[in-house]
Amino acid sequence: MAHIADLLASGRTYSFEFFPPKTDEEQATLTRTLHELEPLRPSFVSVTYRGGPASRRRTFNVVTGMLHVTTLVPMAHLVCAGHRRLELAEILVEYRRAGIENLMALGGDPPADAEASPSELAHAVELVELARVIGGFSIGVAAHPAGHPASPDLASDRAFLAAKLELADFAVTQFFFDADQYRGLVDDLDRRGMRKPVVPGIMPVTSLGSVGRMAQMGSPVPAWARERLEAAAAAGGDAAVRSEGVAMATELCQELLDAGAPGLHFYTLNRSTATREIYRSLGLAPALPAAAG
């Protein structure tokens, strides 16, 4: 399997993120989305994980299924929360035996799963250290352009990120809406002597209802963006809001690429349409063979 660190070293990457389905309906949606996005030939894809036995198996099944029945390069998310150290080691070994060699190491939120174990590792850097002991992984970590919500201040958050990146291979950011935040993050790391790739995360706003949820996730939509979305809603309703959100995300992507970002990582929410529209607007969609007949 290709290592994401090697892919980043050889050029820009374009990647998609999915979450594991909980129901047959969600499985059907994910299967359709993968079928629609695979022709875009992403550099890699990632699958999220919340912790606990149920999420563990769902993520494992999706990631290994991608490895064996698609052309995609999958990356498994793993979190410290809800696991003892030995459990995490067992999960890492299971992934290596299954042929999974790309890992996103995260601290994670406390799992809702009542069967989850007490957390023994407090921070993602400890999980990175454990994965290095197991060996064979290309390891990514999370970065927050505006700072992690749990960090006391931005300076300490950046110092902790730099320490994680000393052991990891690359970072992927939480989604954001202002390219200056990304540039500030990369410049700060550069001043600290840390120049490993930091891939910006992109999530287009497709409804006014999602604005509040994004703030709860630690990435509030800025005032100027809300104004654009509200103006679109007044002019054309929900469809216009979605169109404006995709346009803003496309503008952000182009600005990031122009600034030298090492790639783009799209949070798809297991849907394909917005990502495909942004791809087309950026001229990233590969030329596909003409249909027969």
Contacts (Cβ under 8 Å, ≥6 apart) of 108: 49, 50, 51, 79, 80, 81, 82
In this prediction, residue 206 has a pLDDT band, given cuts at 50, 70 and 90, of very high
Residues 62, 33: Cα–Cα separation, whole Å: 13
In this prediction, residue 114 has a pLDDT band, given cuts at 50, 70 and 90, of low
pLDDT at 290 over 50: no
User: Residue with structure tokens 């100027």?
Assistant: 224
Average pLDDT over every residue of 71-95 = 95
Residues 103, 93: Cα–Cα separation, whole Å: 12
Tokens representing 285 are 């969609």
Q: Is 230 a catalytic residue?
A: no
Residue of 17, 101, 126, 244 with catalytic role: 17
User: What is the SS3 assignment for 236?
Assistant: helix
User: Residue with structure tokens 């660190």?
Assistant: 5
pLDDT for the residue 292: 34
Q: Are the C-beta atoms of residues 5 and 33 closer than 8 Å to each other?
A: no
Q: Give the closest residue to 198 by CA, choosing from 230, 176, 165.
A: 165
Q: What is the overall mean pLDDT for the chain?
A: 92
CATH class belonging to 4-282: alpha beta
What residues pair up with 266 in beta bridges, in sequence order?
16, 202
- The pLDDT tens digits for 18-65 are 999 999 999 999 999 999 999 999 999 999 997 677 778 899 999 999
Compute CA distances 104 → 49, 89, 228, 263, whole Å.
10, 15, 34, 16
Upper half-sphere CA count for residue 100 (Cβ side, 13 Å): 28
pLDDT at 111 over 90: no
pLDDT for the residue 135: 97
Domain map (residue ranges) of the chain: 4-282
What's the burial of 217, exposed, middle or buried (CB within 10 Å: 0-12/13-18/19+)? middle
Q: Give the pTM.
A: 0.94
Residue 85, φ and ψ in degrees, nearest 5? -60, -45
- The pLDDT tens digits for 133-176 are 999 999 999 999 999 888 899 999 999 999 999 999 999 999 99
Q: Are the C-beta atoms of residues 261 and 200 closer than 8 Å to each other?
A: yes
Average pLDDT over every residue of 272-291 = 81
Residues 262, 265: Cα–Cα separation, whole Å: 10
Compute CA distances 180 → 145, 177, 189, 255, 271, whole Å.
9, 9, 14, 10, 28
Other CB atoms within a 10 A radius of the CB of residue 155 amount to: 11
| Helix (H) and strand (E) counts in the chain | 10, 8
